[in-house]
Structure 1
């Protein structure tokens, strides 16, 4: 699994609060809506009790970003309602899976460059695990090393909308 680390960089987190102001256009706001009825989320990702699910997703109303590994889809959520998605995404491979669970956005880097993968560019990175798993622009045809790949437009929308501390839920509804 990817182990990207935050590096000291002047201005890296500047403008995080302002990033909430816009959600990008494109497929994020007008994706297909034909989804199966939401199912109860699996244990470590689902909060205990009778948590309310967001319509059309496997995630609860506390999530700001939702990922379903089985369907290769992701959503942005505000106030318990979908505001973006579903959008296509590509998760980690069987050997380097995207972790399932409930996480918080830890840090963001608009122009992240991977030290682990020979300087690979990872635009619009939103990191949500201490191990370096992030949403970022990447291939929608090839599995990642654990990150959640999004299209260029969708990665911008996730980067612009999510802020440090926001909840990310990753489910595998297979």
Structure 2
């Protein structure tokens, strides 16, 4: 009996120890809900703690039903642009090329009629050069500009319609207008040139006019000294004439020399005749046309006035 009692006490103590060992291990996560499918009978876990059950998703309210739709304001229509229609071209400008009037003069032509065309265009400001009788790019541009202002096709060639319009706006050119004595138009004379016998010389127009009591007797192209050897300006008198003069400083010919201030004189220049305004004198007044300076040399007297001005 005593041995049985001891045995029972020993079993009871072992049970207590077993229960304490279970409580000292990893904390067991409580399982909510029914046991997992892989749980042992009696409530034990087969492996890792069972994954908690996921609650079914609740339906979310339709946002489009919950809030009214937002309206985007419609912008007002843009105002219509008002455009001014271009001016209607003249019948001549719209005429088919095959039916256009015949051409009288065009680029490359050379004739007295071209010289008259240039002179007439010059009368009304479309051609600013001396008439040459040659229909080049400058003449074509002048004709094109004239045609554009008259509503004609801007061809640059002179047809019968262009020619008739030009004739109606201009007068017949004079001999001097067709073949002017100077390359540039002769400047208005300085007031000092209006009395007596004067060689009136303008640096601005690069012309010399021989005048007697305010009347122009002849005119010619001239050039002057360079920046470093300028031609003097002012009122002078011819103090010496030398028909076959040669410069003692530059050893260059100075035919028909008419001295007016120191070594400066009016004379013919072969270099001017050959190179034009590409060169310059050493202070003298060079004349390009030998025939004109020869005639002037015969008319000018010692003591005649020389006026050089801008």
- In structure 2, relative to structure 1, the CA distance for the partners of 1:162 and 1:94 (3 Å cut) is same
**SS state at 1:134 partner:** strand
Map 1:1-174; keep pairs closer than 5 Å: 31-32=181-182, 35=185, 38=188, 41=190, 53=191, 59-85=193-219, 87-117=220-250, 119-129=251-261, 131-138=262-269, 139-140=271-272, 141=276, 142-151=279-288, 152-172=290-310
TM-fit CA distance, 1:37: 6.9
Unmatched 5+ stretches in structure 1:
1-28, 42-52
TM-fit CA distance, 1:78: 1.2
TM-score (norm 2): 0.37
TM-score (norm 1): 0.64
Runs of 4+ in 1 over 2 A off after TM superposition: 32-39, 58-63
Question: Residue by residue, what CA displacement relative to the aligned partner does 1:39-90 show, whole Å, maximum 9, x if unpaired?
Answer: 7x5xxxxxxxxxxx3xxxx8333452110012111010112200001x1111
Bigger Rg over Cα = 2
Take 1:98 and 1:121, find their aligned partners in 2: how far apart are those partners?
18
More helix by share: 2
More strand by share: 1
Which protein, 1 or 2, shows the higher relative CO under an 8 Å CA cutoff with sep ≥ 6? Answer: 1
Unmatched 5+ stretches in structure 2:
1-178
**SS state at 2:223 partner:** coil
**SS state at 2:306 partner:** strand
- In structure 2, relative to structure 1, the CA distance for the partners of 1:82 and 1:112 (3 Å cut) is same
Q: Give the alignment's Cα RMSD to 1 decimal.
A: 2.4
Count residues in correspondence: 125
